[in-house]
Amino acid sequence: MRNFSCGYGARDADVVRDASFTLESGSMTALVGPNGAGKSTLLKGLLGLLPVTPSGEAQFFGHPLAAVRARVAFVPQRAEIDWNFPASALDVATMGVAARLGVFRRPSREGRTTAMRALATVGLEAFAETQIGELSGGQQQRVLVARALAADAQLLLLDEPFANADMAASTKLLATLRALAHEGRTILAVHHDLASVRAHFDRAIVVAGAIAADGQPREVLDPSQLAKIYGIADSPEGNAA
């Protein structure tokens, strides 16, 4: 992804300017930064999910998103889903499999097996038949990850997957993501817990109106740097809105 600049059409001007970075496969990268600094906006802008198409160029595996949708999956924030939807965990995971099929095809038995495997990877195989509304928050988040897995995505983009997750849920999810990265998949997650980023992620990109820092969490997230970054976020330039 090079020279990517995106903005939120409904508000003034660009929220994030001149963002530019490249991800390597098999890595776990975290997008961090103060609230409202544009982390989720950047993610959604990359994926074409904002009402106004951002300017700039985002390349996925060397191609525009439209050409490689089969290899990319988006895991939205838990709060954006209506968990009263009538579906079991397996049903949602199967949606990931179904996403890979053409319009007139149905998931086969193999497909459901793939979905079950995806559920097993995130540790939810015991809850396959449970209605998603009856799952806990952490479990719901993992169902969304299972869906992305079932779609066999090579690049997973997660929007605040650890929001409102307790320690147990976060630990489980981190372990899952680590395993996926190990397999060669690429993970990009919006995250707010800096300690967790420092401990578990390969790379941290700090977003505060623009990309303020990019590199190893140990270097990027040391106390003096953080003061500067979160300090920057308070000035008019940083928020650019």
Partner 1 sequence: MNAFLAVDLPALVALLLAIIACATVGNWLVLRRESLAADATAHAVLPGLVGGYLVTGTRSPWAMLAGALVAGLLTIVLARFVVRATRTGAATALGVVCTAFFALGVALLETQGARQVDLDPSCVLFGSLETLFVATRESESSLLAWVTALPRPIWTLTAAAMLAVLASVIFAKEFAIRAFDPSFARVSGAAPRWTDDTRVIATTLAIVAAFEAVGSVLVIALVACPALAAAPFARSVRGQMLLSIVIAMPIAIAAYLASAHAPMWLGTTNPLNAAGTVACALAAAVPLSHGVARICQRKFHAGNAFNRRPV
Partner 2 sequence: MIGANTMLVLAGCALFGAVSGATGTFVLARRRALVSDVAGHAALPGIASGFLLGEVTGLGGRSPALLVLCATITALFAALCVAPLARLRRLGDDGATATMLAGSFGLGAALLSIVQSHASGAQGGLQTLLLGSAAAMRTSDVVVLTVLSLIVVATLTVLARGLAMVAFDEEHARVAGVPVRALDFALIVLLVACVVAGLQVAGVVLVVAFILTPAATARLFAGSLRVTALRAAMLGTATAVAGVLASRVLPTFPTGSAMTLAASLVFFTALVLHRKHKFAERVA
What residues numbered 128-157 form the site for partner 2, per CB under 8 A?
133
Does 47 bind partner 1 (CB under 8 A)? Our answer is: yes
Instruction: Compute the Cα dihedral for 213, 215, 221, 223 and give only its sign.
Output: negative
d(CA 150, CA 97): 5
d(CA 168, CA 141): 13
Does 35 bind partner 2 (CB under 8 A)? Our answer is: no
Does 104 bind partner 1 (CB under 8 A)? Our answer is: yes
Does 199 bind partner 1 (CB under 8 A)? Our answer is: no
Q: Pick from 15, 33, 122, 127 the residue near partner 1 by CB under 8 A.
A: 127
How far is CA 197 from each of CA 5, 8, 238, rounded to the nearest angstrom?
24, 26, 22
Minimum CB separation of residue 30 from partner 1 in Å reads 20
Question: For residue 86, which phi and psi values (nearest 5 degrees)?
Answer: -75, 95
Task: Spell out, one character per residue from 77 to 116, where the chain touches partner 2: x when CB under 8 A holds, - when not.
Answer: -----x-x-x------------------------------
Does 219 bind partner 1 (CB under 8 A)? Our answer is: no
Query: What residues contact 171, with CB distance under 8 A and at least 6 apart?
Result: none
Query: What residues contact 126, with CB distance under 8 A and at least 6 apart?
Result: none
How far is CA 183 from each of CA 15, 68, 136, 153, 241, rounded to the nearest angstrom?
34, 19, 27, 12, 39
The pair of structure tokens assigned to 85 is: 């939807």
Closest to partner 1 by CB, 151 or 180: 151
Near partner 2 by CB under 8 A, which window of 12-20, 90-98, 167-175, 205-213? 12-20
Minimum CB separation of residue 65 from partner 2 in Å reads 22
In what helix (H) or strand (E) does residue 56 lie, and over which residues does it extend? Answer: strand 56-57
List interacting residues with partner 2 (CB under 8 A): 7, 9, 12-14, 82, 84, 86, 133
List interacting residues with partner 1 (CB under 8 A): 10, 44, 47-49, 51, 65-66, 69-70, 72-76, 80-82, 84-88, 91-92, 95-96, 98-101, 103-104, 106-107, 126-127, 131, 134, 136, 138-139, 147, 151, 153, 166, 168-169, 172
